[in-house]
Structure formats: structure tokens, C-alpha cells
Amino acid sequence: MSTPPARVADPGSGLPADHVLETLRAQPAIQRVPTPKLTLFARRGFLDPETCAAVIDRIDARRRPSTIADANGDTAFRTSETCDLDSADPVIDRVEALISAFTGLDRAYGEPVQGQRYAVGQEFKAHTDYFEPGGEDYKIHCRHTGNRTWTVMIYLNQPGAGGATRFKAIDKTIQPETGKLLAWNNRRPDGLLNPATLHHGMKVRSGTKYIITKWFRERPWPRPRTEPDA
């Protein structure tokens, strides 16, 4: 009798490769975007308005100009403001616990939660979340913990107009709503990086947009202090 193949561990969870998919599919009110090009889920009302407001307060207290890992000469490529949120804060700790329970992704593999603020006219042009292998930034940011695997993003509010997230490869535009979660795999089913995850944080036309993002890696976090943050 032949032995069935071993189930390969999923980078980002340390569990079998289909663990995250099974966990997400089992969640109530989850929606999977119907496309073979990438694995993308959405869940409305994941965070309650009170928690969203509390996280917004923390972003406003610590925000700084956003940067990009791979400089491309376009000073208007990412014009938002950013901050790293402290997991020792009970509010942030609870959000991280909710994300982990909902997705099946192990917190040990996750980067610190990043908060982002977009004022009118600000955007993050089309980009992927993973680091391109072979480049200097890949060598710096991935040598200890590996590349980014899953992205979990949550809208904390709904601006007056604009601020949608557009996935160009599938012609899908997702509008911001308070508490809505998006989760996508930055890899294809064969494990290779997926360029179809290219997405654009579109310009805010009215009001202000706040989101948080948590990226998961191939190996556990934190990295040694000698490796700069992404």
C-alpha cells in the first residue's frame, strides 16, 4: 500500500498547506472573490465601529510619512501616512487575536500591525506586497523571516468619496466600509509569488481613509535587530 504524500506546512501558519483556506471558508458571512487568478476573501463588519475608532486614535497619535521598500523614483507613488501599532496595547492585541482566530494564521509569523492614513488626494499606486527576489530590498527584508505570504487588511472607516482598493488583474474594485476585512494570499497555489495580487489604494476624493494591514511571513517574527523594518 502506498503512503499518501505528507501535507506541506503553509508559510504563515506552520500548519498544513490548506489550513488557512479551510479556516477562512468556514467563517460566517465570508465572501471569496470568484476568480482563478488569486485567492481573495472579504468579510464585512469584521471589526465593530468602536474598535475601529480606537485604532484610528492610535494612528493619528503616531503617524508619519509613508515610504516604500523598492525606491522607483516616483515621489508620488505612496503619499499616505503610516505608523506601527504596538501589540502590547490591549486594543491592538485584541485586534491581532481576532485576525489570527479568523484566518488561522499564526501571530508568531506576523509583522507588527501597520496603520495607514490617507487624506484627500493621497494614494498608494498599484503594487504587490511581497518583495521581489534578487533585489537589494529582498536581501535586506527577507533574509531572516522570508517573504510575505498572506495580507490581512481592514478598513477602519468609510471616507466621503474615493479610497477604494482595485485589483487590476481581475478588474475588481472594493469599496471601503467601516470594519471590512480583506485577506489574500500573495502566492499562487503552486507556491510561486502571484503578480495578480497587484492592487492600488486609490485616491481619496473626500474625507480621510484609515486602514490597518498585517502581513505574514514564511518564518516567525520578530527578526533580529540587525534587519531594518520594511
Q: Residue 52: which domain range?
A: 19-217
Flag whether the pTM goes above 0.85. yes
Residue 79 belongs to some domain of the structure: yes
Residue 170 belongs to some domain of the structure: yes
Residue 13 belongs to some domain of the structure: no
The tally of domains found in the chain comes to 1
Residue 4 belongs to some domain of the structure: no
Residue 70 belongs to some domain of the structure: yes
Residue 83 belongs to some domain of the structure: yes
Q: What number of helices (H) and strands (E) belong to the chain? A: 4, 14
Query: Tens digits of per-residue pLDDT, 30-83?
Result: 999 999 999 999 999 999 999 999 999 999 999 999 877 666 677 788 899 999
Query: Tens digits of per-residue pLDDT, 78-118?
Result: 899 999 999 999 999 999 999 999 999 999 999 999 999 99
Residue 230 belongs to some domain of the structure: no
d(CA 44, CA 179): 7
Query: Do 77 and 71 contact (CB within 8 A), yes or no?
Result: no
What are 206's three cell numbers? 473626500
List the CATH number of the domain containing 93: 2.60.120.620
Residue 102 belongs to some domain of the structure: yes
* Widest CA span in the chain: 65
